[in-house]
Amino acid sequence: MKKEKYDVVVVGAGPAGSVTANTAAERGLDVLLIERNPEIGVPVKCAEAVSKEIERFVEIDPRWVCAVFKGTITYGPDGTKVILSAEDAEEAGYVLERKLFDKFLAQEAARAGVEVRVKTQAYGLVCEDGCAKGVYARTADEDIHFFADVVVGADGVESRVGRRGGIDTTLRLADVATCAQFLMCDIEFNRDYCEIFFGHDTAPKGYAWIFPKGEDCANVGVGIGGDVSDVNHRAYDYLNAFVQNKFPDGEIIAEMYGAVPLSGPVYETVANGLVLVGDAARHVNPITGGGILEAMQGGEIAGDVIAKAVHEKNFSQRRLKEYEKRWRKEFGKILDAGLKTRNIVLKLSNQDLNRFFHSLAGGIRIKEFSERALLKEMIKKDPRMLISLARMMF
């Protein structure tokens, strides 16, 4: 078996993996980034919307922005709508072209000195004395033993890297959303807002969405609780019903299916010689299902901590714990608050949901368009229902 040596091997070239690799390389490390698929960013498994907070991490390039939106319109089961927008900005966020955005992040990593390899699948973890020391990987032509001082698992919701490193990455069905999405064209929809639809008949333990992607194209999707999905009640079935109701004459030009972890941060994200980032670390907000910003922020923190560890030649779990302490300080509270909010919402009947939306009905303008600001506003509007979140967040 061929053998190669790096300071860091990152498994998975999504936003979390690419940003981790980029940050580590900028700090002088020899980094390998591997991706099992033949093309980075494909297949897309994302609704692709993100707030303007993304500008903290990258300079916006129009080539990978499909649409700019002013805010969100969220509908209760009876159609009551809540319009959310930012006070001092006409633009609240972007709908990305993820297959281009992910490539951009990988290209930035390559420019920083990262070696990027596609069609390279990690199938085993190299361990010595209870410490991760690299991965066994398979390419189209050969098997390769990649030695590394630190392995980064950026390999998504299943995270086999984490599991092989001794972290139990399994999830209950109740902590997963199963999702189906169509890219639809030749349809009429609100081009200025992302629309979200709640209701047990529309999407049990989840929601449906319409996110603009151009003049007459939009991502139309449904996510439902994994524990309510069965052979006759799949996300695909609910999506078909939603589309037949909203866009019976629309054209479907692409389909996407996937799973989103909604458990919140439920386990340690480091072990000896091992770091988990992105979906593998459960860095997804449980109430929205969004995780692009957390993936990038966590990736920056991980790359910085790994670089320090390599320079100190200390790859212990205790040393790498700095990563966990920092991400929990930066965005851990919002993930915990999102989980508490989700647990409250899941217990509501359609009637209760309607009452909740009635309390919020109309337009809400917040200083910044962010998950934290939205949850804060929800607490102000209906403190009886969400007061339990206040002490945690503020």
Which neighbouring-strand residues pair with 274?
Answer: 151, 271
Contact 294, 284 (CB under 8 A): yes
Domain-wise residue ranges, the chain: 2-44+99-170+264-339
The CB-based long-range contact list for 320-325 (8 Å cut-off, 24+ gap) reads: 320/150, 320/270, 320/271, 320/272, 320/274, 320/275, 321/270, 323/269, 323/270, 323/275, 324/268, 324/269, 324/270
pTM, entire model: 0.93
Please report the pLDDT score of residue 393 as a whole number. 42
Match domain 2-44+99-170+264-339 to its CATH number in 3.50.50.60, 3.30.565.10, 3.40.50.300, 3.30.300.180: 3.50.50.60
pLDDT in tens, the chain (394 residues): 899 999 999 999 999 999 999 999 999 999 999 999 999 999 998 999 999 999 999 999 999 999 999 999 999 999 999 898 877 677 899 999 999 999 999 999 999 999 999 999 999 999 999 999 999 999 988 999 999 999 999 999 989 999 999 999 999 999 999 999 999 999 999 999 999 999 999 999 999 999 999 889 999 999 999 999 988 899 999 999 999 999 999 999 999 999 999 999 878 999 999 999 999 999 999 988 999 999 999 999 999 999 999 999 999 999 999 999 999 999 999 899 889 888 888 888 899 888 888 877 777 776 666 656 666 666 666 655 555 444 444 4
Please report the pLDDT score of residue 352 as a whole number. 87
Please report the pLDDT score of residue 388 as a whole number. 46
Give the CB-side neighbour count of residue 381, counting CA atoms within 13 A.
19
Q: How far apart are CA 241 and CA 382, in angstroms?
A: 32
Give CA separation, 263 vs 6, 31, 271, in Å. 33, 30, 20
Please report the pLDDT score of residue 394 as a whole number. 44
